[in-house]
A and B are shown apart, each in its own frame.
Chain A
Amino acid sequence: MNTVDRVLTAAGTRTAQRLLGWASVGTLAATAVAGLLLVPPDAEQGDVQRLMYVHVPAAWLAFLSFGVVAAASAAYLRTGRIRWDRVAVSSAEIGVLFCALTIALGSLWGRPVWGAWWTWDPRLTTTTVLLLVYVGYLTLRRVADSPARRAQWSAVVGLVGVVDIPIVHMSVVWWRSLHQEATVIRPGTPTMDGSMLATLLLGVLAFTLAYSYLMAVRLRIGRLEDSAASAVMTTPTPRATAPRRPAAAVDGGGRGA
């Protein structure tokens, strides 16, 4: 716990955020140069295969984000500390973004190679379910009527939803699919040329750094939001401090100060 505290505090400083930001910009630029200029095109698919260097890191980031949501949700349910809820919602927002990006990039790749923008293949279907679960997670947060209840409900969904990650990963093994099977995380050696694999891993590093940067910024926003909200709640409203007027029934309810 203390280590996590220290990491969160260290990532919250302005210097750390600037460092993470520039590191992700640098590695993303390096990925773009390597993926577009240095690495040869695929023998069969040609240049369109270069989409892999962003499609796969985006998918990895969706998995990472939702994994962090589940871990933070479990931590919230154990400790009841609202900070874990902030970690969970920050990660969920980033995860939804990158899960949608994964589907969009995959669609762009699928049209020229498969011959279809979309098909109800198991991998595509389970990924859509993953996206919907965490869109639902974010929607649920708008339904709850108190911060504590919101944190508890969403922690349950954040923890249950993670079950879909192994299903998405194994979908191409368990079921007949159009999507190709895993190239890197598979039994045996990766079925990819060395330079392509190196570029892919660089992309994964770049996206992970971008995730860390986005998380650090989003967590700071979360802290500021919460302190602003608590300031509003403890400050008397103008109506509460104004002198009572006899005809105060303007909002229909007639509720006074």
Chain B
Amino acid sequence: MSAPTTTYAPESVTPTRRRGPSPRTRLVVCVVVVVAALGWIAVRGLTGSFVYYLTPTDVVVQHQADVGQRVRLGGLVVTGSVHRPADGSLRFVVTDGHRSMPVVSTGDVPELFRARQGVVLEGALGTDHRFHADTLLVKHDGSYRAPDLDR
């Protein structure tokens, strides 16, 4: 490398032909991606298929979940239904006010789990007509109170 190279000019100012799609095409692609993402949410939302969890009514009456199909089930924990048999699982009943469903949960139990609390379960309906959940999520409401105001 003996030739003196002084090529530290920043970049060519002369217009050069770029490879790849034209600027207009790239703009259209970007806009289409953004609009498609937002449109997907809107359509899924409006058609009601953007459902985070099924209710016991959805499962029992409308049969929206097959046996063994992995779904989420949401509802309130029925008072007095919570018990822990010797096999280490947690058993309780969730209700949406119309229908209820017995649940066998084998995953971690969050601290805030208790009766009358909203829960979302991930698992599948078994042939024993119980919902077998491996994940138990606790839904809390948006109210915040100091402890000494418990009445």
Contacts and interface: CB of A to CB of B under 8 A. Distances in A.
A122 B31 contact: no
B30 A153 contact: yes
Contact of B110 (A112, A125, A191): A112
Interface residues of B, number: 51
Contact of B146 (A116, A125, A195, A238): A195
Interface string A10-31: 0000000000000000000000
Interface stretch (B47-55, B61-69, B84-92, B124-132): B47-55
Given A121-B52, A178-B137, A115 B108 contact: yes
Interface stretch (A42-50, A81-89, A94-102): A42-50
Interface of A: 40-45, 49, 52, 112-116, 119-122, 125-126, 129, 132-133, 136, 140, 143-145, 149, 153, 156-157, 160-161, 163-164, 167, 174-178, 180-183, 191-193, 195-196, 232-233, 237-240, 242, 247, 250-251, 253, 255
Given A114-B110, A115-B137, A119-B137, A163 B38 contact: yes
A233 B10 CA distance: 9
Contacts of A114: 110, 137-140
B98 to A, nearest CB: 15
Nearest to B141: A180
Contacts of A44: 112, 140, 145
7 contacts: A43-B146, A129-B41, A156-B27, A183-B142, A183-B144, A193-B149, A238-B9
